[in-house]
Structure 1
Amino acid sequence: MFLDKNRITFNTTVAKHSTLVMELDIARRAGYTAVEITQDKVRKYLDAGYSVDDLRRELDGLMVHGIGALVDIERQGTAEKELSREADKLFMLASAIGAKGVQIVTGPLDVQAVIDFKANGYSKRYTGLLQHSHDDQVRLTVKSLAAIAGRARDYGLTVYLEALSWTPLSSLEQQVDIVRRAGCDNLKLVIDFWHCYTSGATPQHLSKVDRDYIYGVHVCDSLPHLDGVPLEPILRDVRTGSGVLNLRDWTDAVKATGFDGWWCSETFCKKQQQGNSYAVAKELKRQLETLVFS
């Protein structure tokens, strides 16, 4: 059960400040059999002179559920060509290391662009589809998702969407809708408790999601979010399990869908990220196993 279903997966945020090799050592020593990693660390490893074969040896015995992330996936016009180049580059890397999926993220990634736009109606930063009507946001995002999923299929990859809660179409209902509209069997969602909470979803909403849309789950926590644009560095600076989210309720909501794929704990808590990552990884694994298996 621990290996084939409901696999407890190590997330890179636990070892944010480590090298890739140290991160994988932390994961192994804590007892994880699967990882979700970032392309930034992988590319730094390769840029240092190591080969893809070296990387495969470092990953030996660990399933790579995902590597992230392809960001601002709604880019249009000339920026869309750059998006396609970035996608192919990331998909090629993911395929080479045997990753099963690639995380894709809506934009604008830079939350300050959203703050500027809400205050002034414009921003000098990349604003994504903020200036578009809702119908156009849906149409253009669905078009982008379908194109990205089509490219990923050529590499045998699943792409999984995380709609950042400060971006357009970020509600759980909207995420399910745009994935459904795209109609690609290799396009899924990652359920992130923090992004769900700060975009207005509840465990009750989550329990009604079709399990076939869910690729993986990010278990995480939050400080209270009352209104306005959610500020991730502030609201996520809390130990997982010590914030306002009832992790049992959120986890049970996912389980109620019938989902039995992979789960990981994310932490953006500065104390945890600056502490003993070996101990934090073990602590989060024990916590997650309790939530998922009891």
Structure 2
Amino acid sequence: MSDLFMLVDSDGDVISRGLTYGGAQALRDEWLAKYAGSGGGVTLLIKPNEPITDVPPVRVHFQTFPTHVENRAIGLPVIADGAERDHLRECFARRSEARDVLDLAADAAKRGKAHYSDCLAEVVRLRAADEAEVAAAGATLATRFKAGASASLEPNLRTGRHALLDAEARCDAARKAAALLNSEVSAAEDALATAEQAVERSVDALIHADLQYMLAELKQLWQKIVPLKLTIDGARYVGFPPGVDALAVLQPPELPPNAGARYVGQLANYRKALLQNADAAFADQPEKVIA
């Protein structure tokens, strides 16, 4: 028979196991003193220690399996540790240059389009004038024929046809110029899209580096917490059973179901801020997601 005992309440719930009889008495007295004024009629019993036959699963307040719809940590640019923000600033500079190039290209294309429209309008005007002059010359010629005249019009009929041909040539040149300028706008838009993507990837690399730092910190904390917890919990076997306060500390903290929502919001806002400012800090971000 084991020389160890356990402390249970009137509902059969185990308060502590593996205690000496004196340790169980001390723990019972501490609990009774703590809840003496509650009026709850607490009853604590000292019973022979029983082995744990069914260990309940440990409750955790975080997901242990991925439920993400995307993974921004894939395909990140290779950046030296600690140089993430400098790399992001360089991406900002290239994005700014790409925007300037696009603005210049768009302005030139706008002027080219306006010039082409003017040339096209001039062609329409001259073509209408040419058609009117040709029609008038035809009417004059018909009148002469009806009058019995055999003499034809002067050999050089001037209807503005040369001006129309020149205008059409200028219009064709303007159309070619507009097409060329539009292609440069498309190229500038593609370059800006590439620069924007580089900024996003650089931001993701920075956030990933921050998370890796947090992960390293958490690992160090666990390396400290686990030995402390095991030592305090195991002290009962050498005559130092955990008291009420110790038992409360040894339990996982009770968190509300949406306890992590504030950090999700902060992280989302952090990414949005980094897309515009390389000096943005996670701690400065609001908890609610900014639209």
**What TM-score, normalized to structure 2?**
0.18
**What TM-score, normalized to structure 1?**
0.18
Of Structure 1 and Structure 2, the greater strand share is in 1
Q: Identify which of structures 1 and 2 has the higher relative contact order when contacts are C-alpha pairs closer than 8 Å and 6+ apart.
A: 2
Larger radius of gyration: 2
